[in-house]
Structure 1
Amino acid sequence: MLVQGKSVLLAGIEPMLAEDLSQHLSARGLKIHEAENIEPNESREKYDLVFCETRQPGLFALLRATSSPVVVVSRVPEVNEWLDAMDAGAVDYCAAPFEREQLDWILESTIGRGKASSMAAAA
């Protein structure tokens, strides 16, 4: 897994969800940062991945403004919410309870592909 040591931001995620998600992600060697709220114009280039809850104010502006991949998190999954988030630019959508396989797939498809994509472009 190519994700160890990467930085992940948990933005506007309720404490119980953030704790659960943080445990899963830190077990994979990721550096976890948390922010209660995040502004769309705030620079997030220093994060390799952002997890943001659906109730985060300005979520869709955040999705459109950031260059970091954003995964939208929800306690209760809803199809319309998932489609809206993906249309606005989210790379994925996941709901609690978080499953190891789902998070591994998300990590590999977002953070893990960076190195492989760079290698392919150089070839």
Structure 2
Amino acid sequence: MHRHRPRHHRHLQGGAGDQFADLPGLRGAGPGSALQLRGGGVSALVRRTPYPAQLELLCQRERAARRVDRSLLPLLAKMPDNCHPMDVVRTAISYSARKTRRGTTIRRPRTSRRRCA
């Protein structure tokens, strides 16, 4: 039982041909064919990408929808410049989870303040 295994390449050079990429679902059906992504042509995706003005409007709407608690900003400003983005997000979420609807911070029980050795 020999099954054909696709060849994996880091990047596609000089046309896709019958080569397979590392991305699941991205492949070329054969020489001279269009690049396929999950059963549809990649050229169809290009037609659906937003124009720069549309993208800017979308970014503005998304930024307006994201509200940041003003009391969180000094905490984030104190974080080191070389801090990993996931650490910043985790800190912001943890801080926000400790806030009540009135804006006061919930005090943690004394036992949870102890550090693990």
Alignment TM class, shorter chain as reference:
under 0.3
Give the TM-score taking structure 2 as reference length: 0.23
Computing the radius of gyration over CA atoms, which structure comes out larger, 1 or 2?
2
Give the TM-score taking structure 1 as reference length: 0.22
Determine which structure has the larger helix proportion and give its number: 1
Determine which structure has the larger strand proportion and give its number: 1
Larger relative contact order (Cα-Cα within 8 Å, sequence gap ≥ 6):
1
